[in-house]
Amino acid sequence: MAESAVPAHGGGGDEPTRRDFIYIATGAVGAVGAAALVWPFINQMSPASDTLALASSEYDLSQVPEGQQVVIFWRKKPVFIRHRTAAEIAAARADDNAPLPDPQTDAERVVQSNGQPGKAEYLIVEASCTHFGCVPTFGGGSYGGWLCACHGSVYDTAARIRSGPAPANLVAPPYVYTSDTIVKIG
């Protein structure tokens, strides 16, 4: 006669026991505790509100007279907004096919970050030489654009590098026109 085996805990094999409940409850409390412990470390990696405020800048272009430029700050970096004259635009377009160290046409230099064509009369570029980060001045050099006095980099009226040690054109920040006179940078 064969004896039937009865589990030591006294129940069927599929029914949960108190011990199973205690294991599950302990695991759940441990998971919640770990999440509560890790959350402050994850949250501190988010940008601060003052940083988020600098993420974009809006500027009214009607404040810039033709032939002048302003310097505004975006992400704590200076940005040139130049209201170009018809002669400056014509000079930039005439040099579109010139041998350039960093080739770009004048039209490519004024494209908005959404891919739409910008306004040819406004050139928006970061005011930082691509060689060592000095701030170039307008009206110097042999191309009528910007001259970086630190090491002699010369940019044309489309802010393209023409001569000197700078390896690239002045960088165009991401921007879009939100109206006929308002530009949003960033």
Please tell me which residue in 9, 83, 131, 151 is annotated as part of the active site: 151
Residue 30 CB neighbour total at 10 angstroms: 10
Alpha helices in the chain (DSSP H): 18-43, 49-53, 86-94, 106-109
Q: Which amino acid belongs to residue 100?
A: L
151 given a catalytic annotation: yes
Closest to 175 (Cα-Cα) out of 93, 68, 74, 103: 74
Largest CA distance in the chain: 112
CA distance 35 to 22: 20
CA torsion sign, 8 to 10 to 15 to 18? negative
CA distance 178 to 78: 21
Q: Residues with catalytic annotation?
A: 151
